Amino acid sequence: MKTLLIVYHSQSGASAALAHALWQGACTAADEDACTVVLRRAWDSGSADLSNADALVLVGAENAGALAGGLKDYLDRVFYPAINAGRVLPCALVLSAGNDGRNARRQAQRMLAGIPFTEATEPLICRGAVTDRHRQQCGELGQALVAGLAMGIF
Ligand SMILES: Cc1cc2nc3c(=O)[nH]c(=O)nc-3n(C[C@H](O)[C@H](O)[C@H](O)COP(=O)(O)O)c2cc1C
């Protein structure tokens, strides 16, 4: 049984909408006997969830040219425990951004590489208000990650 862990932080609801779309896509692809999909707010999650995960998706925003504080706090908290656990997890990144997102991406990638977690996919940056296209992209990403886990690609 594989576990896909989705951790998100959201203030206005945009990142939450993306995370839920990703979760729905992942659940539609998940064979109940083969893969579990877990959705957690960053504030409510930590190393215990991570130690049960086989892949991680982080969803959050770029705020003031940086990774949103809730997601940064999550990475700060799990960084050393993850290093000490010695597990190299595949990780995907979804960012909600008004018009940019590149600084948040760089910051998250730097921390994830330091653990080190590997990039399962190219980061997805969803700019502006959340659209149906963004939801579709997130749903497809969830499906692809579950399929990859089930096939042992990661
Ligand atoms: C205080 C603040 C700072 C922001 N700074 C940036 C920024 O530097 N770059 C950007 O692309 N968007 C920026 N935004 C826009 C947010 O990234 C965007 O609204 C995002 O959808 C917020 O998602 P969330 O409310 O789910 O966290 C900022 C928003 C706020 C509230």
Residues with CB under 6 A from ligand 1: 10-16, 61-65, 68, 96-101
Provide the residue range defining the domain that includes 104.
2-151
Q: Look at residue 110 in the predicted model and tell me its pLDDT.
A: 97
Q: What is the CATH number of the domain that holds 13?
A: 3.40.50.360
The phi and psi torsions of 96 (rounded to 5 degrees) equal: -100, 130
103: CA distance to ligand 1 center in Å?
12
Total number of domains constituting the chain: 1
> Can you give the pLDDT of all 154 residues of the chain as single tens digits?
999 999 999 999 999 999 999 999 999 998 877 899 999 999 999 999 999 999 999 999 999 999 999 999 999 999 999 999 998 999 999 999 999 999 999 999 999 999 999 999 999 999 999 999 999 999 999 999 999 999 999 8
Q: Look at residue 92 in the predicted model and tell me its pLDDT.
A: 98
Residue nearest to atom 17 of ligand 1 (CA): 97
Q: Which helix (H) or strand (E) holds 41?
A: strand 35-41
